[in-house]
């Protein structure tokens, strides 16, 4: 199930010298959305370990409203893989665009920064985000 992690507007400080949104801004919002999704699933610390291909399909403009959705697609032993989608709505035309999407992998870590099993960290209501997933969180 998709989770709306962020909805906001593009401001002038988010723009590159060409006048469209800076790619790093879009990527940071996607990473932030993934980190928010992780907190819906587990209680504890987690870090980004991997991001797969990012393709920017359309430019994002000043004033556009954007939404960043997260969906858990895989639960590993210590990792959670999420599909993150960055969509925008043009302020004037209200036309929606799929700006980009990518898979983000986060790893649960302990206080020493080492990977730990996420099984014991799952929130009681995490199942709503995990329906239909193959769990790899056996007691190993
Ligand atoms: C994340 C980190 C703790 C992982 O440590 P590690 O010793 O490499 O971990 P492991 O090899 O045991 O892998 C841990 C999990 O990450 C997954 N993983 C590691 N590298 C991966 C990659 N390139 N792609 C996909 N998954 C990956 C493994 O499959 C494993 O998942 P699983 O337990 O669910 O099967 C360590 O690499 C790290 O601290 N990286 C820096 C993180 C960071 O600073 N991120 C940016 C800021 S949040």
Instruction: Look at residue 73 and tell me if it is in a domain.
Output: yes
Q: Which atom of ligand 1 is nearest to the CA of 46?
A: 48
Instruction: Look at residue 132 and tell me if it is in a domain.
Output: no
Domain that holds residue 29: 3-124
Instruction: Look at residue 93 and tell me if it is in a domain.
Output: yes
> Look-up: residue for tokens 């996607």?
30
CB count within 10 Å of CB 48 equals: 14
Q: What CATH number is associated with residue 42?
A: 3.10.129.10
The residue whose CA has the least distance to atom 6 of ligand 1 is 115
Picking from 77, 136, 79, the residue whose alpha carbon sits closest to that of residue 103 is: 79
Q: Which residues line ligand 1 (CB under 6 A)?
A: 47-50, 76-79, 105, 107, 109, 113, 115
Residues of the chain with pLDDT under 50: 138-140
The residue whose CA has the least distance to atom 10 of ligand 1 is 115
Angle of CA points 40, 117, 44, to nearest 5°: 40
- Looking at the structure of the chain, the number of domains it has is 1
Instruction: Look at residue 8 and tell me if it is in a domain.
Output: yes
Instruction: Look at residue 114 and tell me if it is in a domain.
Output: yes
DSSP letter for 43, please: S
Local structure of 130: helix, strand or coil:
helix
The residue whose CA has the least distance to atom 38 of ligand 1 is 49
For residues 56 and 99, the answer to whether their CB atoms sit within 8 Å is yes
At residue 133, the pLDDT reads: 85
Instruction: Look at residue 115 and tell me if it is in a domain.
Output: yes
The residue whose CA has the least distance to atom 25 of ligand 1 is 50
Side by side, the strands of the sheet bearing 65-75 are 3-9, 65-75, 79-89, 96-109, 45-51
Q: Which atom of ligand 1 is nearest to the CA of 75?
A: 34
At residue 58, the pLDDT reads: 95
Instruction: Look at residue 70 and tell me if it is in a domain.
Output: yes
Instruction: Please list the helix, strand and coil fractions of the chain in percent, rounded to the nearest 5, in that order.
Output: 20, 40, 40
At residue 137, the pLDDT reads: 55
> What spacing in Å lies between the alpha carbon of 20 and ligand 1's midpoint?
33
For residues 38 and 91, the answer to whether their CB atoms sit within 8 Å is no
Local structure of 93: helix, strand or coil:
coil
At residue 138, the pLDDT reads: 44
Instruction: Look at residue 55 and tell me if it is in a domain.
Output: yes
């Amino acid at each position: 199930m998709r989770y709306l992690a962020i909805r906001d507007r593009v401001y002038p400080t988010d723009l590159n010298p060409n006048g469209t949104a800076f790619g790093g801004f879009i990527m940071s919002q996607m990473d932030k959305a993934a980190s928010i999704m992780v907190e819906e699933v587990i209680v504890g610390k987690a870090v980004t370990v991997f991001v797969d291909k990012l393709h920017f399909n359309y430019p994002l403009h000043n004033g556009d409203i954007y939404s960043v959705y997260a969906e858990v697609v895989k639960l590993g032993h210590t990792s959670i893989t999420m599909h993150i989608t960055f969509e925008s709505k043009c302020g004037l035309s209200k036309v929606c665009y799929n700006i980009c999407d990518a898979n983000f992998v986060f790893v649960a870590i302990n206080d020493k920064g080492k990977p730990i099993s996420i099984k014991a960290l799952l929130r009681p209501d995490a199942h709503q985000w995990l329906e239909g997933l193959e769990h790899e969180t056996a007691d190993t």
